[in-house]
């Protein structure tokens, strides 16, 4: 199909320009104000903004909690056309090429493009070379206990060995950074003392547990020349350490998530165990410091850590409840609302949600930018449209959202994937399933992509 997005403000060359976007065969054909030929479908988006579609580097889909169709719909309504799945879950963690292929085959039901991070553990280092030979170059390391089929490095020597293995194949290490000994010891202490209120859970995984893990990983990554990417950084204090490493020209990237930007300790009083995520949502002081690092550029990306869980699995004592909340549909409206409140620039949101993840994960310039020849993955934004977030209108199979009742101004109203309108009339939007055009993306790092942003 050939179509034109006409009369909008388009994010081109790092600024918004009044130009029409011509799309043909799934690609951006030209950017011009010339009149379209008669065989182009014209979509008038006067007064709206066109940005490159969002890329989520951090998504979980667990069987029985979310499926690939519902996740696809949620992503499209949130302005996403590309997601990266995390490697573990349901006893089939992607720590070997065989399990990786199994997860890849399941994920082919996605309506959008996807990739899958492999798992790097203390015991699967021989597999890392095999992964790389098959084009898999991003490896998740879980420092706290995760599951028995995803063993974590037991000590710093094992962590160094994992970093060496990833570095040797030109890969990127993705790290959940919390000190395991600290959080397990605090947890045991709190349980013995009967401190099991929701707020106690936050204190049982202290800020310094993240800071220590971040510091150690930066140190050992430097030793092994291993590029690293911290997932879901929750504290401004840890961000300060990351900022220092960046200034030393170390290849280190940082992701945060909307729950750490939009929520603070008050959520535990309001939502109780429903608010359990790891790392935990922090106090206001840390939230403010994290925002400062988001604005100044220490934080490179925003991942959703989308992980819907049924209420029955979140309603136990918070220390025994499951982790996870949905996020794909709500993060972009929440951030656009912050744009309207002048807390962050529109351009910075685009960097965090599209351009930077495209560059870091080897998808740029096919994605993450609007230019001739790039894939026509686009999101149309109405900065003047208001909405109220409610779980009843979201496509996720999640049964709750921590943002229930939040009023936002600024929403995605249309998402195009490979030149096809897949979502319109947002927010939350109507899904138009033309046909499944989602593809598995094999990551290929260019020499100059794994550099300091």
The CATH number of the domain holding residue 427 is: 2.30.40.10
The confidence score (pLDDT) of residue 19 equals 96
Whole-number percent of the chain with pLDDT over 90:
83
Residue 308 inside a domain? The answer is yes
Same domain, yes or no: 419 and 283: no
Same domain, yes or no: 18 and 97: no
Residue 447 has pLDDT above 90, yes or no: no
The residue range of the domain holding 286 is 53-360
Residue 93's pLDDT band (cuts 50, 70, 90):
low
Residue 446 inside a domain? The answer is no
Same domain, yes or no: 76 and 157: yes
Burial (CB < 10 A; 0-12, 13-18, 19+), residue 149, is: middle
Number of domains in the chain: 2
Residues 29, 1 contacting (CB under 8 angstroms): no
Residue 269 inside a domain? The answer is yes
DSSP 393: G
Residue 183 inside a domain? The answer is yes
Residues 396, 308 contacting (CB under 8 angstroms): yes
**How confident is the model over 394-398, as a mean pLDDT?**
97
The confidence score (pLDDT) of residue 448 equals 52
Same domain, yes or no: 83 and 38: no
Same domain, yes or no: 99 and 247: yes
Dist. CA 410–CA 383, nearest whole Å? 4
- Under the phi-then-psi rule, with left for phi > 0, alpha for psi from -120 to 50, and beta for the rest, what region is 305? left
Which of 64-73, 105-114, 325-334, 348-357 comes out lowest in average pLDDT? Answer: 105-114
Helices (H) and strands (E) in the chain, counts: 14, 20
Residue 438 inside a domain? The answer is no
CATH code (residue 258): 3.20.20.140
Query: What pTM does this model have?
Result: 0.96
Residue 102 has pLDDT above 90, yes or no: no
| CA dist 227 → 11, 90, 94, 249 (Å) | 30, 29, 21, 11
The confidence score (pLDDT) of residue 453 equals 40
Same domain, yes or no: 37 and 63: no
Same domain, yes or no: 19 and 59: no
DSSP 313: G
The string over 360-385, giving b where at least 16 C-beta atoms fall within 10 Å of a residue's C-beta and e elsewhere, is bbbbbbebbbbeeebbbbbbbbbbeb
Residue 168 inside a domain? The answer is yes
Same domain, yes or no: 96 and 61: yes
Same domain, yes or no: 24 and 78: no
Same domain, yes or no: 12 and 132: no
Residue 397 inside a domain? The answer is no
Same domain, yes or no: 424 and 332: no
Same domain, yes or no: 283 and 413: no
| CA dist 210 → 23, 178, 201 (Å) | 45, 4, 15
The confidence score (pLDDT) of residue 445 equals 80
Residue 313 inside a domain? The answer is yes
- Under the phi-then-psi rule, with left for phi > 0, alpha for psi from -120 to 50, and beta for the rest, what region is 384? alpha
**How confident is the model over 223-249, as a mean pLDDT?**
98
């Amino acid at each position: 199909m050939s179509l034109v997005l006409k009369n909008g403000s388009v994010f081109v060359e790092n600024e918004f320009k009044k130009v029409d976007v011509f799309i043909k065969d799934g690609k951006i054909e030209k950017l011009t104000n010339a009149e379209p030929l008669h065989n182009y479908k014209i979509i008038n988006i006067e007064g709206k903004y066109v940005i490159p579609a969002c890329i989520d580097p951090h998504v979980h889909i667990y069987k029985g909690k979310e499926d690939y169709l519902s996740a696809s719909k949620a992503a499209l309504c949130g302005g996403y056309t590309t997601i990266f799945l995390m490697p573990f879950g349901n006893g089939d963690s992607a720590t070997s090429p065989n399990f990786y292929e199994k997860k890849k085959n399941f994920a082919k039901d996605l309506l959008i493009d996807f990739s899958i991070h492999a798992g790097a553990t203390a015991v699967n280092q021989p597999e890392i070379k095999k992964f790389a030979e098959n084009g898999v170059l991003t490896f998740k390391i879980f420092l706290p206990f995760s599951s028995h089929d995803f063993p974590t490095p037991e000590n710093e020597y094992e962590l160094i060995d994992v970093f060496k293995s990833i570095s040797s194949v030109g890969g990127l290490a993705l790290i959940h950074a919390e000190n395991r000994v600290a959080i397990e010891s605090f947890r045991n202490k709190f349980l013995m003392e009967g401190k099991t209120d929701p707020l106690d859970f936050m204190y049982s995984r202290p800020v310094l547990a993240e800071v220590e893990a971040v510091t150690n990983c930066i140190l050992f990554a430097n030793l092994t020349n291993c590029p690293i990417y911290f997932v879901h950084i929750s504290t401004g204090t840890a961000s300060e350490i990351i900022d220092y490493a960046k200034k030393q020209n170390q290849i280190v990237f940082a992701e945060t998530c909307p729950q750490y930007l939009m929520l603070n300790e008050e959520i535990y009083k309001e939502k109780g165990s429903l608010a359990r995520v790891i790392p935990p949502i922090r106090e206001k002081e840390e939230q403010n410091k994290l925002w400062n690092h988001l604005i100044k550029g220490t934080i490179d990306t925003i991942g959703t850590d989308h992980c819907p869980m049924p209420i029955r699995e979140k309603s136990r004592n918070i220390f025994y409840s499951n982790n996870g909340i949905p996020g794909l549909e709500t993060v972009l409206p929440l951030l656009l609302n912050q744009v309207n409140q002048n807390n962050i620039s529109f351009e910075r949101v685009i960097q965090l949600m599209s351009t930077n993840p495209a560059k870091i994960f080897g998808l740029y310039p096919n994605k993450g930018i609007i230019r001739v020849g790039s894939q026509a993955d686009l999101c149309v934004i109405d900065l003047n449209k208001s909405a109220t977030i409610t779980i009843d209108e979201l496509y996720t199979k999640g049964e709750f959202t921590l943002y229930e009742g939040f009023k936002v101004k600024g929403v995605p109203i249309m998402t195009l994937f490979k030149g096809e309108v897949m979502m319109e009339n947002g927010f939350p939007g109507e899904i138009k399933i033309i046909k499944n055009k989602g593809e598995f993306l094999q990551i290929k790092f260019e020499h100059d992509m794994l550099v300091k942003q």
